[in-house]
Structure 1
Amino acid sequence: MSDQTDIDARIQTYYGEVFDEHARLTTRSAQGPLEFQRTQEIIRTHVSGGRVLDIGGGAGVHARALADGGFDVALIDPVPRHVEQALSIGVDAHVADARELPFSDASFDAALMLGPLYHLASEHDRVRALREAARVVRPGGVVFAAGLSRYIAFGKATLGRPVPELYPGEWVALAATGTPSPGRFPAGHFHTAEELQAEVTAAGMHVLEVVGVEGPAGALLESLQDAGEQLSDAALTIARASADLPGIRDMSAHLIAVARVPE
C-alpha cells in the first residue's frame, strides 16, 4: 500500500502544477462532458434542492452547475489552486480535508464525494472520510461517493502491450486488491462496485445503488477530442442502459455509490 503522506504531497503537485481538473470535465476529451452529464443526472435523480457540500470538488464544475440549478452549494478541496478556481466562478469554496470536515453535524442535505476516495490508500481513511460526509449530512440526507473502477485501471495498465509469461507483481496487486501501479496520477485505490458498496455500508450508511457513470463506451470517448453528436449520444444511451448491471457497471471509469444517512 502506498504511503498516504507521499500521496497527499503528490496531489498538491499534480493538481496544483501539472493537471487541469476543470478541463478534464469540459474540453480535454469527449469523455469529460459525458462524465459531467451522467454525474449530474445521478445526483438530480436523488436530490432536487437544498444545501449540498461538494467534498473534494476540484475546480467547482459540478458545484457551479448545481448552484445554477437552485442548490445552495459549498465546496472544500485540499488543493489551493482548485479553491481559487472555484471562487473565481462564484462557488463558496474553502481549503479542507475530506477526513476532517470543518462543518457541524447535520448541516447539509446532501454531500458529494467525487474524488477523495480514490486518493486514499487505506480502507481506514476511506471509511473515515465517508463517516465525515455522513456526519455533516442530516438524517435522511444523501451521500454520493465515487470510486475509480479497478477493471478500467487494470485495462489501462495491461492492454495494448505484450503479455508476460508471469504477470508482474504490480499487475497482480492492482487486480487483486486495487493497489495502484506507479504512475504520475496520485492514486490511492481502485474499487470494484461491490467493494465501494461495502465501504459505504461500513461507514454506517444505507446504500441505495451503485452505478457506473460513463458506461462501456466511455473509454472510447476518452481517446477522442470530439466524438461528434451521434457517437456521443450513443455512448450516453449505453451508459444509462448499463449503469446498474453487475459487472457491466465496472466498465465505467467512475462508479458512484448513492447512500442515505440513517434517520
Structure 2
Amino acid sequence: MTTITDQDDIDARIQTYYGELFDEHIRLTTRSAQGPLEFQRTQEIIRAHAPEGRVLDIGGGAGIHSRALMDAGYRVEMIDPVPRHVDRAREAGVAASLGDARELGFDDDSFDTAILLGPLYHLASRADRVTALREAARVVRPGGAVLAAGLSRYVAFGATSLGRPVPSPMPGEWAALIADGTPGSGLRFPAGHFHTAEELQAEVEDAGLLVHGVFGVEGPAGLYLEQAGAVSDEIRHAALMLARAASSMEGIRDQSAHLLAVAHVPS
C-alpha cells in the first residue's frame, strides 16, 4: 500500500524534475514529433467537449494548453505545484498560481470546465486520484465538463520490456507495473501510477462524474514519432489520422501514451 511518505517523495521529485531537470514547455513543441501530435489531439478533444466559458487548468505545466485555449476564446485560470511552471505560464499571459489538485482554493461551481492533464499520473494512491477528481468536480458547475488524463500502463510496460530478453520468472517490478500500474524503481520521471483506460474511467466515475468516453490521444504511431526524430509532413498527417481513427477503440486506445477521460458533472 502506498504511504504518505511515498507521495511526499514523489512530490519532492516533481519539484526537482520539472524545476531543474526537464523543460515541459519544449515537450509539447519541439522536443520530438510526438509532442505537437499530443498537443493537437489534446486540444481537439478539449474543444470538442468543453463548453465555452471559464476553464480551470489543474496542473497546467508551462501553460501551453492554457494559452491555446485563451487564444480560442476560453477564459482560463491555471494552477501548478511547480514555481518554474507558474512563472513560464505568467510570462505567456496566463493567470497562473501555485496550487495542489487535491485541495483547490476555488468556490463550488466556479468554472464551466476543469482539465487535469498531469495530476493523476503523479498521484500514487487511488484515494488521492479520486480526491483530485472530486475537487475538480466540486469547482465545476452542474453540466460542466471535467477532462482528466492518465499515462497508459501498456505503453509504460512496453517501454520497460520491449527490445530486450524477457526474464523468466518475470521481475517483480514488471509484474507490478502490468498488473497494478505501479512504477518501477529508478525512474527519473516522478510517476505515481500508470492507468488502463478502464481503470481511468472507473476512477472518474467514483468521483461522481458521468463519463462520456476515454480516448487515446496520440494513437499507435505516437511512439514512433517520439523515437524517429525528424519526419515528413506526410508521416505527421498519417499519424494524426490514425490517432483520430483509433482514439475510442477499446484496447487500441491504450497504445497511446496518454489517455484522456471526458466527463461531466451531473445536472
TM-score category of the 2 structures, normalised to the smaller one = over 0.9
Q: Find the residue that maps to 2:77 and give its secondary structure.
A: strand
What does residue 257 of structure 1 align with?
A: 261
Instruction: Mark the runs of 5 or more structure 1 residues left unpaired by the alignment.
Output: none
Residue 162 of structure 1 deviates from its aligned partner by 1.4
* Correspondent of 2:151 among 148, 151, 154: 148
* Correspondent of 1:222 among 195, 210, 226: 226
Could you tell me how far apart the structure 1 residues matched to 2:133 and 2:51 are? 22
What does residue 79 of structure 1 align with?
A: 82
What does residue 140 of structure 2 align with?
A: 137
What does residue 108 of structure 1 align with?
A: 111
What does residue 202 of structure 2 align with?
A: 198
* Correspondent of 2:163 among 156, 160, 164: 160
* Correspondent of 1:120 among 119, 123, 134: 123
What does residue 50 of structure 1 align with?
A: 53
Could you tell me how far apart the structure 2 residues matched to 1:113 and 1:106 are? 17
Q: Find the residue that maps to 2:149 and give its secondary structure.
A: strand
Matched, 1:188 2:192: yes
Bigger shift: 158-167 or 49-58? Answer: 158-167
Q: Would you say the 8 A contact 2:121–2:150 is kept in 1?
A: yes
Could you tell me how far apart the structure 1 residues matched to 2:51 and 2:99 are? 26
Residue 48 of structure 1 deviates from its aligned partner by 4.5
What does residue 235 of structure 1 align with?
A: 239
Could you tell me how far apart the structure 1 residues matched to 2:237 and 2:37 are? 9
- Moved beyond 3 Å, runs of 4+: none
Residue 49 of structure 1 deviates from its aligned partner by 1.7
Could you tell me how far apart the structure 1 residues matched to 2:230 and 2:144 are? 37
The one-letter amino acid of 2:178's match is A
Residue 165 of structure 1 deviates from its aligned partner by 1.7
The one-letter amino acid of 2:146's match is V
Could you tell me how far apart the structure 1 residues matched to 2:68 and 2:51 are? 13
Q: CA RMSD in A?
A: 0.8
Could you tell me how far apart the structure 2 residues matched to 1:245 and 1:227 are? 26
Matched, 1:20 2:39: no
Q: Would you say the 8 A contact 2:112–2:145 is kept in 1?
A: yes
Could you tell me how far apart the structure 2 residues matched to 1:153 and 1:47 are? 29
Could you give the per-residue CA deviations for residues 38-79 of structure 1, whole angstroms, max 9, x where no partner exists? 000001111252000000000000000000011000000000
Could you tell me how far apart the structure 2 residues matched to 1:137 and 1:227 are? 40
Q: Find the residue that maps to 1:223 and give its secondary structure.
A: helix
Could you tell me how far apart the structure 2 residues matched to 1:214 and 1:181 are? 24
What does residue 38 of structure 1 align with?
A: 41
Q: Would you say the 8 A contact 2:51–2:144 is kept in 1?
A: no
Q: How many residues align?
A: 263
Could you tell me how far apart the structure 2 residues matched to 1:29 and 1:194 are? 29
What does residue 173 of structure 1 align with?
A: 176
The one-letter amino acid of 1:253's match is A
Q: Would you say the 8 A contact 2:51–2:112 is kept in 1?
A: no
Instruction: Mark the runs of 5 or more structure 2 residues left unpaired by the alignment.
Output: none
Could you give the per-residue CA deviations for residues 214-239 of structure 1, whole angstroms, max 9, x where no partner exists? 00000000113322200000000000
Could you tell me how far apart the structure 1 residues matched to 2:196 and 2:179 are? 10
Structure 2-normalised TM-score? 0.97
Residue 245 of structure 1 deviates from its aligned partner by 0.3
The one-letter amino acid of 1:234's match is A
Residue 123 of structure 1 deviates from its aligned partner by 0.2
What does residue 214 of structure 2 align with?
A: 210
Bigger shift: 59-68 or 155-164? Answer: 155-164
